[in-house]
Amino acid sequence: MQKSLELYNRAKSVIPGGVHSNSRARAPHPLYFTKAKGPYITDVDGNEYIDLIMGNGSIIFGHNYEPFVELFNKYLPDGLVTGSETELSIDVSEKFLQFVDHDQVRFTNTGTEAITHVIQMARAYTGKNDIAVCEGAYNGWTDHVFVSAWPDLTKAGEEHNPIPLPGTGGLDPKVVESTVVIPFNKWEETENILRREAHRLACVILEPVMIDVGFIEPDPEYLKNLRALCDELDILLVFDELLTGFRLSLGGAQQYFGVKPDLSTFGKAIANGYVLAAVAGKREVMEVAAPGGKTGFVGTYNGHQVSLAAAKAVFELLEDGTILEELHEMTEQLINEFNNSCSRYGINGVMKGRGGHVHWYFSDTPVETYRQAARTDHETFAKFSGKLFELNCLVSGKTLSHHKLSYSHKGEALEKLVERIDTALKSLK
């Protein structure tokens, strides 16, 4: 990795840490890449990896997937980039709403921007100021939501009443303290907190599946109970579907679990790696941010035409459901192979996932909450992930993270991945 080291030494003098997102940092130094194709990514030293990062879940088809590229080029507008409305923006909005059961949608750029819009809209609609988030979840990097994201359990208080902790330095302490933290999948505790704080809560924001800590599905009744309680207490329910959207099902986690939120945010797979996010929801809530409404919704790059061309290509490829169904089958196959290998070698490990999202935990107890995930075996995770990296699989070394397959992983790449996972697990024994 000599060339990556040389680039790092050059980069760190002009870029803090040598990376533009801290999540790309890696010991002993970041990797720098030169090309990608399908499920593979190649670094500047010529090392080819099976990519299990896949743009943090945004690349659903694979790198430079030819059917996507052809459609994308077909739908690119003639000289239009940003700052203007076009028929393309209407086409993509209509197609989005055919998939996702909401009344209206607006496009912005990133998940954090989408969540920021949602918070302003919820305040304007309800007349209340504060929000609630789930302990452990990451919903963006602004002050109100970067709270208790992967918190230190020695400082987080009791599970029935989590203490709001800043997810990073530089946040406004008063804003952090104003955010309510609930324990995902612990219904009685969640209900008690929300009833106590309902008078000040504009919305509850949650990933319907906690993917930024691996892959933790909700208890079957948790989301349904939350929906009913939010209605009772005049709190808007917001699903952060940046990671679940267009992967769990074409209609997102809300379709998969049969629970409809008031507002949703989407992104990642929506444009196969191009910069795009969406805010969608009930008409009466969405229209508080319409021109002349109670709050604004502005942005030079909102509805960026190049990104909308990518989204239109994505929707066309996903529409008949074939690709998503195959992605589910691939995910299930990988999960079964991992879990079988763990059984064969006597390892307390489990892989969980759906829709190309996969993650592995090493634990002798179930992982159904953030605190259970945080207490899994970090040392074994690091050894396993390190061995996978040695076997040329690009993985995260962070226990509470997530990994992804794309449609292009099917066939040879998936077979190689199964073999390398088995080899890495065997090395643990």
Q: What is the pLDDT along the chain (429 residues), one digit of tens a residue?
A: 899 999 999 999 999 999 999 999 998 999 999 999 999 999 999 999 999 999 999 999 999 999 999 999 999 988 889 988 999 999 999 999 999 999 999 999 999 999 999 999 999 999 999 999 999 999 999 999 999 999 999 999 999 999 999 999 999 999 999 999 999 999 999 999 999 999 999 999 999 999 999 999 999 899 999 999 999 999 999 999 999 999 999 999 999 999 999 999 999 999 999 999 999 999 999 999 999 999 999 999 999 999 999 999 999 999 999 999 999 999 999 999 999 999 999 999 999 999 999 999 999 999 999 999 999 999 999 999 999 999 999 999 899 999 999 999 999 999 999 999 999 999 998
What's the pTM value of the predicted model, to 2 decimals?
0.96
**Residue at which a domain ends, from 318, 336, 366:** 318
What amino acid is encoded at 72 in this protein?
F
Given the structure tokens 């992983």, which residue do they identify? 409
Alpha helices (H) in 320-410, listed in sequence order? 322-345, 370-374, 378-390
Q: Are residues 58 and 72 in the same domain?
A: no
Of 293, 278, 287, give the one whose Cα is nearest residue 94. 278
Domain count, the chain: 2
Give the whole-angstrom CA distance, residue 217 versus residue 353. 9
Q: Are residues 288 and 358 in the same domain?
A: no
In this structure, the answer to whether residues 186 and 307 fall within a common structural domain is yes
Take residue 29 and report the two structure tokens written for it.
Answer: 């130094």
Q: Give yes or no: residues 59 and 128 share one domain.
A: no
Range of the domain at 398: 32-64+321-428
Consecutive H or E run containing 201? strand 201-206
Q: Examine the domain organization and report whether 151 and 141 are in the same domain.
A: yes
- For residue 28, cis peptide bond before it (omega within 30 degrees of 0): yes
Position of tokens 């690119």? 76
Domain end, chosen from 281, 301, 318, is at 318
CATH code of 297's domain = 3.40.640.10
Tell whether 260 and 160 lie within a shared domain: yes
Residues 55 and 75 in one domain: no
Same domain, 309 and 211: yes
- Domain of 412, CATH number, reads 3.90.1150.10
In a domain, 17, yes or no: no
Question: What count of other Cβ atoms lies within 10 Å of the Cβ of residue 256?
Answer: 18
**Given 318, 347, 380, which residue is the final one in a domain?**
318
Residues 159, 75 within the same domain: yes
Q: Comparing C-alpha atoms, which of 396, 404, 397, 392 is closest to residue 273?
A: 404
Q: For the packed helices 322-345 and 412-428, what is the interaxial angle rounded to 10 degrees?
A: 20
